[in-house]
Amino acid sequence: MATLLLITSVAAMADNGHQLWLRQTGLDNPACNVTQKAFNPTATDIESQTVRIAMSELLARISQKLNIQLEKRADAPGSDGFTISRRGSNITISSASGTGLLYGAFALIRMQATDTMLKGGSVTEVPASPLRILNHWDNLNGTIERGYAGRSIFWSDKGEIISQNAPLLVEYARANASIGINGTVLNNVNASPKVLTTDYLKQTAHVARILRPYGIKVYLSINFASPKALGDLTTADPLDKDVAAWWKAKAKEIYDLIPDFGGFLVKANSEGEPGPGDYGRTHVEGANMLAAAVKPYGGIIMWRAFVYAANSPDRAKQAYEEFMPLDGQFADNVILQVKNGPVDFQPREPIHPLFLSMKKTPVMPEWQITQEYLGHSIHNVFLAPMWKEMLDDWRTYGTGANRSFADMKIPAIAGVSNIGNSVNWCGSDMAQANWYAFGRLAWNPAISSEKIAQEFISQTLTKDKKALAVISDIMLRSHEACVSYMMPMGLHHIFAGGHHYGPEPWYAPRGTREDWLPRYYHRADSVGLGFDRTMRGTGAVAEYPDEMAKKLDDFNLCPEKYLLWFHHVGWQQTLPNGKNLWETLCAKYDEGVREAEDFAAKWATVKQYIDPERFAAIGSRYDRQAKDAWWWRDACLLYFQQFSQMPLPEGAPAPRHNLADLMRFHLAIDNYTAPDMSKLP
């Protein structure tokens, strides 16, 4: 009875999700005692501030009777690493840096919050990558490209330049530091030149000041044509002396304001953005010119490899073709930032071949935390398993390349943020798990998806073991399920045009670039389905290391999950699984629908363990996700059926929609807002 009452009272407290995974636990139990060695308690230098933050976090949140000592020691782990050791009730956190102590403090708090408190002995952690960076696709007018959680927390829509809401930025810094994120790009890769004007740089410096004690550096996306666009010069040619001088002067201005500024993120000659190619120059010439400007201050250039020309025979091949020949020619402070797969953050993609082949130029992964192609902030899809898949391929096939997560030698890693000014930060309480997972995997790619899910749930939703198991199970199945109901077996980019929410494999407005149309990717015809990228097709398989290329090229060896990515398969062709393509495809879509329905049903069973506000908000998303799964399944199967001319297999459920209705429906939303659930079919 007592337990029941307790559960009821916990569940009755509404919770808007704003606290993320940082719920206070020890405030009413000041049992722990925290001391530090080596810092002047009143000093104002950044490192002392960082250590004071670590101490106050421990005091506020450790509820066990412990004596905790923070120790800066030259012989302790460096590069943000730390050691936590325990004897009895005495705990020492040691590190060679203040940020390492802060990360150690958050690690200890996490141990308590997830019931994995260190009992004795010691643990040491050193991050796999020194640069763990969020990319905000925030526009200077406050909208967020592919953002589904409200408006920017940095840039204002009210005519002021930037959000002056310092407490919110402190909360943001704290949340990131708690999961090891140490860098943030404040503006969209489709960058307005205006961000480099003095006014905006001053505001950037303001944000940098707030984030600095939390160990977070700021970076900016720049527009390659800035010298020209801002009216200072008539060209942005990277080999022009005045252009190089302009960037040098701009870098000096920035570093005078922000001495620890991280550097620039550059989207050049991609989707209409300007770049060195406009002047007949190469990526190397463009990137190295910028690199020289920030080099004296220790800045870096993250040069994106997301390039593809209109009407190329195979968009998936282009980045490799353009960048592989440039391997080794980039300056040593340039890192190539490469999306996990060769097309564009699809629900499932094979690994981008550049990760497996670049030998000398550092390559950093760009993951998309915001769910542009995975149901926006409506579908509950946990992305850790998807990112782990990429890491596993990197580890398996990347041997021989000069870096891989397995060697703990990743130069940097970026995640496109899903954060906005909505009260729960991400538009959806479950989407917070993807921000959390990005930080945890950037710190340690060896952590399992299961552990990340469990950590997240027990720090946010419930500690009840049974409920935790139910939620963790549906989170871990969610990515595979989403792939199954959206685009199984390697299908890709069959989304509604523009906003990318919902299915439109037929989308083909006249005059649109062919490579922006679903038919370019699915290639459905009377013979079969899928993009032939084998050696008999576009030859994209050859961009992979031999062993992998051979597998992908062979219909019998290609993993089923990538089959239609690499092969055009006959509708009636028998697959290695014994069934033909059409039967397998139908079965996959049906499985996706069943899974989505099961998630909604399972979620309903944890009601008593979750506060009513989040229970309802998350539940309504599971319900909508299940409806959308039907929408996807019906739209895709009915559309492809026009080509296969085969009936749905025996036992397959009858469609709920008819194709003509679905083809008439086009959701009217922009690229900045989450769809209104009531307006969906």
Pair 95, 72: CB distance under 8 Å: yes
Pick the catalytic residue from 45, 115, 256, 271: 271
Shortest separation between residue 498's beta carbon and ligand GCU, angstroms: 9
On the 0-12 / 13-18 / 19+ scale of CB atoms within 10 A, 356 is buried
Rounded to a whole number of angstroms, the distance between the first and last alpha carbons of the chain is: 45
What residues between 137 and 196 interact with ligand GCU by CB under 6 A?
145-146, 189-190
Q: What is the side-by-side strand order in the sheet with 121-125? A: 33-37, 67-72, 90-95, 82-87, 121-125
Shortest separation between residue 333's beta carbon and ligand GCU, angstroms: 22
Residue closer to ligand GCU, measured from CB, 139 or 460? 139
Helix (H) or strand (E) holding 93: strand 90-95
Shortest separation between residue 372's beta carbon and ligand GCU, angstroms: 6
Helix (H) or strand (E) holding 338: strand 334-339
Residue closer to ligand GCU, measured from CB, 204 or 337? 337
User: Active site includes 344?
Assistant: yes
Residue closer to ligand GCU, measured from CB, 155 or 603? 155
SS3 301: strand
Three-state secondary structure along 422-481? CCCCCCCCCCHHHHHHHHHHHHCCCCCHHHHHHHHHHHHCCCCHHHHHHHHHHHHHHHHH
Residue closer to ligand GCU, measured from CB, 267 or 379? 267
**Rounded CA separation 17/616 (Å):** 12
- Smallest Cα–Cα separation from 538: which of 548, 560, 551, 553? 553
Residue closer to ligand GCU, measured from CB, 133 or 475? 133
Answer yes or no whether residue 124 interacts with ligand GCU by CB under 6 A: no
Residue closer to ligand GCU, measured from CB, 372 or 597? 372
556 Cβ contact partners less than 8 Å away, ≥ 6 residues apart:
576
Pick the catalytic residue from 240, 344, 392, 613: 344
Number of chain residues interacting with ligand GCU (CB under 6 A): 9
Shortest separation between residue 10's beta carbon and ligand GCU, angstroms: 41
Shortest separation between residue 368's beta carbon and ligand GCU, angstroms: 8
297 Cβ contact partners less than 8 Å away, ≥ 6 residues apart:
251, 255, 259, 261
User: Active site includes 271?
Assistant: yes
DSSP state of 335: E
Q: Which of 240, 285, 344, 623 binds ligand GCU (CB under 6 A)?
A: 344
Output Rg (C-alpha) for the chain, integer angstroms. Answer: 25
Residue closer to ligand GCU, measured from CB, 271 or 676? 271
User: Active site includes 611?
Assistant: no
Query: From residue 270 to residue 289, what is the string marking binding to ligand GCU with x (rule CB under 6 A)?
Result: -x------------------
Shortest separation between residue 222's beta carbon and ligand GCU, angstroms: 14
Shortest separation between residue 370's beta carbon and ligand GCU, angstroms: 10
Cα angle 345-346-349, degrees, rounded to a multiple of 5: 95
What residues between 356 and 385 interact with ligand GCU by CB under 6 A?
372
Shortest separation between residue 499's beta carbon and ligand GCU, angstroms: 9
**Rounded CA separation 39/47 (Å):** 8
On the 0-12 / 13-18 / 19+ scale of CB atoms within 10 A, 75 is exposed
Pair 413, 387: CB distance under 8 Å: no
Q: Which of 39, 200, 246, 306 binds ligand GCU (CB under 6 A)?
A: 306
Q: Between 98-113 and 166-178, two packed helices, what is the crossing angle to 10 degrees?
A: 80
SS3 153: coil
Give me the DSSP letters along 382-403: --HHHHHHHHHHHHHH-BTBS-
Residue closer to ligand GCU, measured from CB, 81 or 277? 277
Residue closer to ligand GCU, measured from CB, 344 or 392? 344
Shortest separation between residue 84's beta carbon and ligand GCU, angstroms: 38
Answer yes or no whether residue 267 interacts with ligand GCU by CB under 6 A: yes
- Smallest Cα–Cα separation from 73: which of 52, 55, 96, 51? 96
Pick the catalytic residue from 80, 273, 372, 464: 372
Which chain residues interact with ligand GCU by CB under 6 A?
145-146, 189-190, 267, 271, 306, 344, 372
Q: Which residues participate in catalysis according to the annotation?
A: 271, 344, 372
